[in-house]
Chain A
Amino acid sequence: MTALELPGAERKPPIDWAGYVFVAFFTIPFLAFNVAPLIFGAGLAFTKWGIFGKPQWIGLQNFSDMLHDEWVGIAFKNTALYGLIIVPGVVVFGLACALYVHQRWPLAGLARTLFFSPNVVSGTVIGLVWTWLLDTQYGLVNHYLGLLGISAIPWLTSPRWALFGVSIASVWWDLGLAFVLFLAALQDLPKELYEAADVDGANRWQRLRLVILPQLRPVISMVATLQMISSLRIFTQVYVMADGGPAGSTTSVVFYMYQTGIQRQLFGYASAVAMSLFVLILVMTFIMRRFVRER
């Protein structure tokens, strides 16, 4: 205890050495199982390594191979398409649902529960349920489209439609998170904002466009960024619903990484594919931030 009375002790608070013990329990598994594999993977990307032998340093060979691999082009193109369908779908529809529930009309609580519920189930559930719903012959979706006079769409069996079919299921799965974040943001808006708009005699649409949306810009950009990151790493739905097919039309980058790394056991090459996706995600995040700040 006397140590505390040394001159200077009041200026500098003592170090809580226990802090290191407290963070160690979390930090050790975090470094070992989350950070280290990433660094290991970044190194592997510059090697050639199959199931036998040792990794061989080959510099940028994997990356130049990727440029000539037509499947890499397909996987990145498909992944971009997933992003272009799912991100706007989730943002627009999630915002609409949040605006609706925020009205606090009767049964709004029920609507909130229902809109969020798909978000808590596994990708396996999403995949199997939608494979069944989108079944060409017996699926519910084609049945009701048929009643509207639309002939059966080969949702998951035609290369033209499959990516879109997987995207529909993904919007159903992902909407909940965006919805909840929008709802929280709406509830945080000051009440005076609505009242001022009412006094000015703004109608519902004007109030939304001129008063509410500008206030929501930060949360919209955050949700769009989160959703973009999650769409760029799409895997489970692709695996369960279409196994990357038909004819590779639903193959995403993570799915291709799985195929090269696990099925073909090209560990170095798969790591190079993964690292490219990582760089793409960083770049896209950076661009979206910049884009939002400058406007």
Chain B
Amino acid sequence: MAGNLHRDINRKLRPFGLKIGDIPIWLGGLFISLLWAAPFVWMVSTSLKPAGEVMTVNIEWIPRHITFENYRRIFAEFPVLQWGINSLVVAVVGTGLGVLFGAMAGYALARLRFPGREALFALFIASLMIPADISVVPLLLAMIKIHWINSYRALIAPTIGNVFSVYIFRQFFLKFPADLEDAAKMDGAGTFLIFWRIAFPLARAPMIATTVILFTLNWNSFLWPLLVTFDDSMKTLPVGIAAFTPELGTHTQLEGFALGMAGVTILSLPCLLLFFALQRYFIQGIASGAIRG
């Protein structure tokens, strides 16, 4: 009898790809995945609480009173808006240039024949072994020398040379059908026109993938903006908001993490939304360019 019941349940579960013995693992895994996102929920929940209700002995996942006071205060008391504009300018310009120049280089490395091509690609790949962080001090000294510190160009310049973008576009253009180019050549189009009118617009998938990944990388960048911005007004969001930790023995300790959580909610929102909307491109981009720099 029990065997029949067992078989019955298994038949009902089959469309879901589940067997009865799988159910505990299935539910356990779901629970862990929810737990994995819990810090984000706690972050948003804390940011919506009045300062006096943040540090409580009992855990309140849903705020007793919802308030936007913390958000109002960080914008009023700190140059959060300015930091946000700085971050946006740096991430948008840096990503735009990184994608365009990366696409051009990737196209040349895949489709154009010129001496030194393979050596250049080898140099790009070899550079992936070198973490950018180890050359920040000499880079800063050079930037001081050329009077670039505290400027957008200093924040943007080192983000352009991200080999990830070249690699992804090269992969794509290697498989690009030659007859499209040949047809355009017949019509007398030059190399630049072929790239700009035909190849680049057709590279939609690598374009979106590199855009979202580079944007995330540039938006979140920390060490370099920390070093190169001396004025409060030139800081980027991650650097500015990093200072929102309560200091022991000050009034901020009593308010605890209310302001900090409002700050990091704003900081994480663009990338989280981008990820939720374009998840496929994030995951495919990372998987196909596993050599991320």
Contact = CB atoms under 8 A, between A and B. Distances in A.
Interface string B27-61: 00110111011011011001000000011110100
A128 B245 contact: yes
Instruction: Give the interface size bracket for B toward A.
Output: 35 or more
Contact of A181 (B26, B120, B287): B287
B3 interface: no
A44 B237 CA distance: 31
Nearest to B227: A262
Contacts, number: 278
A236 B222 contact: yes
Interface in A38-96: 38, 40-41, 44
A15 B115 contact: yes
Contact of B192 (A18, A258, A278): A18
A181 B220 contact: no
A124 B267 contact: yes
Contact of A22 (B195, B241, B276): B195
A162 to B, nearest CB: 14
Interface string A101-138: 00111110011111111101111110111111101011
Nearest to B290: A181
A16 B192 CA distance: 11
B183 interface: no
Nearest to A133: B39
A16 B112 contact: yes
A113 B242 CA distance: 26
B46 A132 contact: yes
Given A18-B112, A113-B279, A177 B157 contact: no
A40 B275 contact: no
A33 B160 contact: yes
A275 B134 CA distance: 7
Contacts of A15: 113-115
Contacts of A271: 137-138
B216 interface: yes
A235 interface: yes
Interface residues of A, number: 91
Interface string B222-243: 1100110000000001110110
B104 A13 contact: no
Given A18-B192, A23-B120, A38-B135, A254 B223 contact: yes
B133 interface: yes
A131 B102 CA distance: 37
B283 A116 contact: yes
Nearest to A237: B222
Contact of A34 (B25, B42, B127, B242): B127
Interface stretch (A3-11, A24-32, A192-200, A207-215): A24-32
Interface string B157-198: 110110100100000000000000000000000111001000
B34 A114 contact: yes
B39 A172 contact: yes
A282 B135 contact: no
Contacts of B242: 124, 127-128, 239-240
Interface of A: 13-23, 25-27, 29-38, 40-41, 44, 97, 100, 103-107, 110-118, 120-125, 127-133, 135, 137-138, 140, 143, 172, 177, 180-181, 183-184, 222, 226, 229, 232-233, 235-236, 239-240, 254, 257-258, 261-262, 267, 270-271, 274-275, 277-278, 281-282, 285
